[in-house]
Amino acid sequence: MKSLPWLKIPLACLLVALAVASLIVPVKAVLTDGTVHDISSLGAGSPDIEISSNGNFIAVTYYKQSNGEGPVYVKSADSAGGWVTATFVGTGSDPQLAFQSGVNNVVYVVWRKAGGAAIASAKCTLVSATAPNCSVGADVRTVSTDQLNFPDVAVTNSGIVHVVWQNSTGPGVTQIETARSTAATNVSAWNAPVTVAGSGVNRKPVLTFGNGLLHLAFLNGSSTSILTQVRYYQSSNGSSWSNPKNFRLGTEIIGGTAHDTLDNPAIAVSSNNVYLAWDAHRNGSSDYSLLQATSTAADGSSWPANASYAPSGTAATSNPTAEVKSSTTLSLPPQQVGLRPSLAISNTTPVIAWQEIPGQVGCAAVTPFFYIFRVSPLTGIADYSTEFLQNQGDDDEMIDVDLAIGSSGVHQVFMRDNNVTSCPPPNGANGYLITYRGPFINRGNDAGEGGNGVFLPIIQKSS
C-alpha cells in the first residue's frame, strides 16, 4: 500500500452510465499493459500487496480462510521473471508484509496464528523466476488464550522490524501493543512488547514508516461495535509514542443521526505528509462514508481541525447526501463489510482505493465495484485522474482491494468470487480467489501454491 511514481491511466472512450455520489460520471478505464488474473486457489482471503523501492518487485501475502485460519502464503513477481510459485510460511490468518526502504528483494511477514494465541513472523528473500526463499522467525508475542488480532508490520531504514497488534486482555479492554526486533534485518528475537493504548477498546492498528518515524493509527471506542475515534500516534524508536491527533465522532466528524461507528483505518506517508483514511457507518442503514485527513507536516505533528470526506474534500462536520456510499453489513466473509479503503503514494500524491456496491441496500443482485481516485493532498478532487474498475463478469463479486504503486506501474490485488449465483454468495468465505490486476503478466514460473499444483489463470487483456 506504499510506493512511488504514478503510472498515467489512459481513459477508454466508453462512458459508464453510473454517477458516484453525484461527483462525476466515471469513465471506464484500463491500466497500461494491465491484465486481470488469479494468483491463488479457491478459499483465499485478506491479500496485502507491497512494492519495492525501485518498483521491480511486488510481494503479496494472503491466507486460506475456509476454517477461520489456514495456510499463509507469500507470492512475488518482478518485471523480468513475472509471477512465481507461492511459498508457505505458516498457518494462521490476517497476514501483512513490508519491504525495507532501499532493500528491494526482502520482505518481512507477520500473521495471527494459533487462533490468536500468537503473532508469528517470517523473512522472505525474493528471487526472479523462483519462489520466495522464506525463513520463519520467532513469535513476536504469545499469550495463553485467543486474544491477539490484526497484526501489521513496518521496517525502518536501518532494518529494525516493528510489529503492532491488538490484545484483548479482558472484558471491555483491548489494548494496542508494539514490539521491535532485537537486531536489524532479523526476526529471530523480539524485545518485550510496549503498550501504546491500554484502556478502553482499541482495534485494527495500521503501521508504516517514513521520514524517520513510525506512524500508527487505530480505532478507539466503548465496545467492538461502537468505535468513535481514529487515533494517530508517532514514534522515533517504537519504545515511546506521542499522540498528536484524534478524530472523534461528534467533534471532528459529524455523529448523531449521520454516523454511529468508525472502521477500517488505512495509513500512508509521503516525503511531506502523513495520510489517513477510514470509513464511517451511516446510522440505521447499510451505507457508509469515506473519510480522510492529511497532516501538513512530514512528522505528523500538524493536522486539520476536522476530518474530510474522500475524495471530495468536503468537511466531515456536515452531512451532504452526496457523500453516501453503499456497502453491506453482512459479515460472511468479513472482508465485504464497509468500504475498506487502501492508500498508496504516487510521488507525493495519495491515491485511495475502496470497495463500493452502487445502489445496493443490504444484499441484492448487484455486485461490488471498485473505484480508484488520484486525490490531491489538500484540495479534494481538484486534481485527480480516475479509474473505474467494474466486475469482470456478470457473476463476479470483488472485495477487499489493496493497492501498490511504483515505477513499474499500478498494482492491485483483491478477493474475487467468480461464481456468484445468489446473494449473499453461496460459497461464503470458501468461494474467493486472490486476483491481481496490473502490468506483471508473465505466468511461466508460477506453479500455484506448492503442493496445490498449477491453477489456471483467467487472463483478460487490456484494450
Provide the pLDDT for residue 374.
57
DSSP state of 253: B
Q: Judge: domain 11-450, CATH 1.10.260.40.
A: no
Residue/partner pairs of 232-237 with CB below 8 Å, 24 or more apart = 232/274, 232/276, 232/295, 232/300, 232/303, 233/196, 233/197, 234/299, 234/300, 234/301, 236/212, 237/180
Q: Give the global pTM.
A: 0.88
Whether 347 contacts 6, CB under 8 Å: yes
Q: Which of 389, 352, 351 is nearest to 367 (CA)?
A: 389
* Strand partners for 248: 229
Q: What CA–CA distance (Å, rounded) separates 115 from 186?
A: 25
DSSP state of 115: G
The whole-number average pLDDT for the span 138-160 is 96
* Strand partners for 125: 106, 133
Whether 170 contacts 200, CB under 8 Å: no
Q: What CA–CA distance (Å, rounded) separates 81 from 90?
A: 25
Grid cell at residue 100? 525495507
The whole-number average pLDDT for the span 384-394 is 52
Whether 413 contacts 74, CB under 8 Å: no
**pLDDT tens-digit profile of 187-225?**
999 999 999 999 999 999 999 999 999 999 999 999 999
More confident residue, 65 or 389: 65
Residue 127 has pLDDT above 50, yes or no: yes
Domain ranges of the chain: 11-450
Whether 140 contacts 122, CB under 8 Å: no
**pLDDT tens-digit profile of 313-333?**
899 999 999 899 888 777 778
Helix (H, G, I), strand (E, B) or coil at 380: helix
Q: What CA–CA distance (Å, rounded) separates 379 from 312?
A: 8
Band (370; pLDDT cuts 50, 70, 90): low
Looking at 43-52, 130-139, 275-284, 323-332, which range is the least confident one? Answer: 323-332
Residue 232 has pLDDT above 60, yes or no: yes
**pLDDT tens-digit profile of 259-307?**
999 999 999 999 999 999 999 999 988 899 999 999 999 999 999 999 9
Provide the pLDDT for residue 13.
24
Q: Which of 336, 344, 329 is nearest to 368 (CA)?
A: 336
The whole-number average pLDDT for the span 384-409 is 71
Helix (H, G, I), strand (E, B) or coil at 132: strand
Band (185; pLDDT cuts 50, 70, 90): very high
Residue 435 has pLDDT above 60, yes or no: yes
Grid cell at residue 315? 468537511
Q: Average pLDDT over the chain, rounded to whole?
A: 83
